[in-house]
Amino acid sequence: MSDTLIDEIADGIYRLSTFVAEVGPTGFTFNQFLIDDDDPLLFHTGQRMLFDSVSEAVATVVPIETLRWITFGHIEADECGSMNQFLAAAPRAEVAHGALGCMVSLNDLADRPPVPLANGQVLELGTHRVRHIDTPHVPHGWEARVLFEETTGTLLCGDLLTQLGQGPALTSNDVLAAAAQAEDVFGASCLTPTTAPTIRALADLDPNTLAVMHGSSVTGDCSGALRGLADDYERRLLNSTAA
């Protein structure tokens, strides 16, 4: 029996969520997103220790051997720890990432050669269209990127708007205070002069749904949530350099 919860948060886009009580002061969710289409795409694999649970959850939506694309935001265990286990389980699957991430890490780490994507390049999945967007060092990692599913307006935004604890799969409530609390606890975000402008450019996509890696996904005023996050990070950066 899988410990991973499954919710459809947009048309054909499933959130697979595993709660780990030991992480952080109130536990932490690790979420993957599966786009069900002719060429199914997984965004985030989870850590190697989660492979059995996550792959069982994937299999309730699509046969695991039909996975076509293994994707994630940046190189970290929760993003891509079980990448090679998924490549082994899905013979036609390929890792697709930004060209920089392929050059710096994935050509070496991935058991099959990854597919390098140019900034703005689109993967056609069948009905869904997924655009690759480079976001260097946002939220962290030189090779960082996000994906934007254009037909549903779903931004697969990874660690942006991370929240502690376990909330609903999807919320239209304001999550900015929760995101600020998580940043206070973990200090995970790379705060540079380009952080806020990069997040504001994502807000300009005017997404309908934000698929969040840790915590609830967001619907409603998504661009407002991203702009609020950018403002918070900008304040933190300015405060750190004001002394």
Q: Which residues bind Fe ion (CB under 5 A)?
A: 76, 78, 159, 213
CB 131 within 8 A of CB 155: no
Please identify, using beta-carbon distances, which residue of 59 and 104 lies nearer to Fe ion: 104
Minimum distance from residue 214 beta carbon to Fe ion (Å): 6
CA distances, 60 to each of 57, 82, 164 (Å): 5, 18, 27
Minimum distance from residue 140 beta carbon to Fe ion (Å): 6
Please identify, using beta-carbon distances, which residue of 62 and 212 lies nearer to Fe ion: 212
CB 183 within 8 A of CB 217: no
Please identify, using beta-carbon distances, which residue of 68 and 195 lies nearer to Fe ion: 195
Half-sphere exposure of 219 (CA within 13 A, CB side): 8
User: Which pairing describes strands 154-158 and 170-171: parallel, antiparallel, or unpaired?
Assistant: unpaired
Minimum distance from residue 114 beta carbon to Fe ion (Å): 18
**Alpha carbon 29 to chain centroid, angstroms:** 12
Please identify, using beta-carbon distances, which residue of 76 and 231 lies nearer to Fe ion: 76
Please identify, using beta-carbon distances, which residue of 2 and 186 lies nearer to Fe ion: 186
Minimum distance from residue 43 beta carbon to Fe ion (Å): 12
Minimum distance from residue 21 beta carbon to Fe ion (Å): 17
